[in-house]
Amino acid sequence: MERYVCQVCGYIYDPAQGDPDNGIAAGTPFAKLPDSWECPVCGASKADFTKEA
């Protein structure tokens, strides 16, 4: 599954890991993250992420 990079702080969302601290189970693809999900490091919105090159 594709990883996405936060354009604000550089955090990488890795679907294999998910974001368990914020209730996102491992295996959740980026597209399936709720719109209210925010970068766990800097609080940027989903729109601030781009697919990892």
Partner 1 sequence: MNPIEIAPGVYDVGVTDWNIRDFHGYSTDLGTTYNAFLVVDEKIALIDSVKKEFADALIDNISRIVDPRKIDVVISNHTELDHSGSLARIMHRIGEDKPLYCSKMGAKNLVRHFPQKWNYQAVGSGDELKLGRRTLAFLETRMIHWPDSMFSYLKEDGILFSSDGFGQHYAGPERFDDEIGDRIMVHAKKYFANILLLYATHIEKLIRQVAEMKLNLRMICPDHGVIWRSDPGKIVKAYLNWCRQEPEKKAVVIYDTMWHSTEKMAEAINAGIMAEGVPSKPMHLRAWHRSEVMTEVFDAKAVVVGSPTLNNNLFPTVADFLCYMKGLKPKNKIGAAFGSYGWSGEAVKLIENELTGVKIELAQAGLKVQFVPERPNLDACHEFGRKIGRAVSGP
Taking the CA atoms of the chain, what radius of gyration do you get in angstroms? 10
Cβ-contact 5, 12 below 8 angstroms: yes
Among 3, 5, 44, 46, indicate the residue that binds partner 1 (CB under 8 A). Answer: 44
- Compute how many residues bind partner 1; rule: CB under 8 A: 6
> Least distance from C-beta 41 to partner 1, angstroms?
5
Q: Interface with partner 1 includes 20 (CB under 8 A)?
A: no
Specify the pairing of strand 49-51 against strand 12-13: unpaired
Binding stretches for partner 1 (CB under 8 A):
8-9, 41-44
